Chains A and B, each alone.
Chain A
Amino acid sequence: MENQNEKIKERFDALFSEWEKVIDDPKIRISSRPRDYINNEPYKAIVNLGEVALPLIIEKLKQGVFFMNQAVLDITGVKIDHIIGKEKRFPSEQEKSRLLIDWWKTRNK
């Protein structure tokens, strides 16, 4: 089991580092649209890792990598509207991360 977790972490770290290289392109960095940062192969591969990658993705959210928000939503099928309070209509990506981290804590209680 531990060996399997290590393998998943290795795979995740490799894909994450690949993704960071992809989004370091000025053509992407000049964009404000989250979809321009996540519409690439390494990101899709991270999502394809599935539930096993969630703890690692949540760690990235805690480190401020808010473009990973969508990966959590895609893997879990959770709708962001369901975890946003009605009083907050246009949450920032940082706020979405905080909400997802809280949601994750509640789910794993």
Chain B
Amino acid sequence: MPHMKIAKLYLPCFLRKLFHRFLCWLWRKPPRGEAPTPSQETEIEFYFPNLETWSVTGPGTGDYNCIAWSVGITNQWIWPGYTVADFDAFYASHGWTVTNNCNREYKKRKVALYANNSNPNDCTHGSRETHDCIWDESKLGSLERIMHRRSELEGGYYGDVIRCYVKDDNNANLDLC
């Protein structure tokens, strides 16, 4: 995001915050991707009734899934197990550490782990914060990859977020300086 780098270089913190608020205001809609087609809307919103503001950022494919995407892999289908312990070990092997704080943080990115009925032995999905202003991206099984508000994916087919993982990213959420 070059504009964020410009803000980082030239603007003091309070101006950066204002600048970022303006950008977030601009990005009330997903900052990346294509608007879903009516058939995509019907199909996907059926499984995620809280999904309102979202876009399609990648085509449907069986080459990779949500967990692979959450660690930046787009040519493998990865499922480390069904328990939180399995996912903790998997994300640790990719440099992500467990955090109790799922909110966005200055210079950090988050991955969210979902489970049915908040059951830690029934994990279902992982989404990754890929853009400031609380935008996550999710690969939906072998269906499309989408950009969405994390909270809007909750309460549907994947259940709710039960845990988050964090990693440093010098370009993330610079407005929270």
Do the two chains belong together in a single complex? yes
Name B141's contact: one of A31, A93, A94 (CB within 8 Å): A31
Q: Which residues of A68-107 have CB atoms within 8 Å of chain B's CB atoms?
A: 89-90, 92-95
Interface size class for chain A? 10 to 19
Dominant secondary structure at the B interface = loop
- Chain A residue nearest to B48 (CB atoms) is A30
**Interface on A for B, CB 8 Å cutoff?**
26-35, 66, 89-90, 92-95
Q: Tell me if A30 and B77 are in contact (CB < 8 A).
A: no
Contact A33 B124 (CB under 8 A): yes
Known contacts A94-B76, A95-B76; is-contact A30 B82 (Cβ 8 Å): no
Q: Which 3 A-B pairs have the closest CB atoms?
A: A92-B76, A32-B65, A93-B77
Partner of B140, one of A30, A90, A92: A30
CA–CA, A32 and B138, complex, Å: 11
Q: Is the interface on chain B under 10, 10 to 19, 20 to 34, or 35 or more residues?
A: 20 to 34
Which residue numbers of B lie inside 8 Å of A, CB to CB?
43-44, 47, 60, 65-68, 73, 75-80, 82, 89-90, 93, 124-125, 139-143, 157
B139 contacts which of A32, A35, A92, A93 (Cβ < 8 Å)?
Answer: A32
Contact of A29 among B75, B77, B90, B143 (CB under 8 A): B143
CB distance B77 to A94 under 8 Å?
Answer: yes
Shortest CB distance B125–A (Å)? 7
Q: Is the CB of B90 within 8 A of A90?
A: yes
B93 and A32 within 8 A (CB)? no
Chain A contacts for B140, CB-based, 8 A? 30
Given that A92-B77, A93-B77, A94-B77 are contacting pairs, would A32 and B143 also be in contact in the complex, using a CB cutoff of 8 Å?
Answer: no
- How distant is A68 from chain B, measured CB to nearest CB, in Å? 13
Interchain CB contact under 8 A, A34 and B141: no
Contact B79 A32 (CB under 8 A): yes
Residues of B within 8 A of A28 (CB): 141
B66 to chain A: which residues have CB within 8 Å? 32
Report the Cα distance A92→B64, complex, angstroms.
9
CB-defined contacts of A26 to chain B, threshold 8 Å: 43, 47, 143
> Cβ of A29 and Cβ of B82 under 8 Å apart?
no
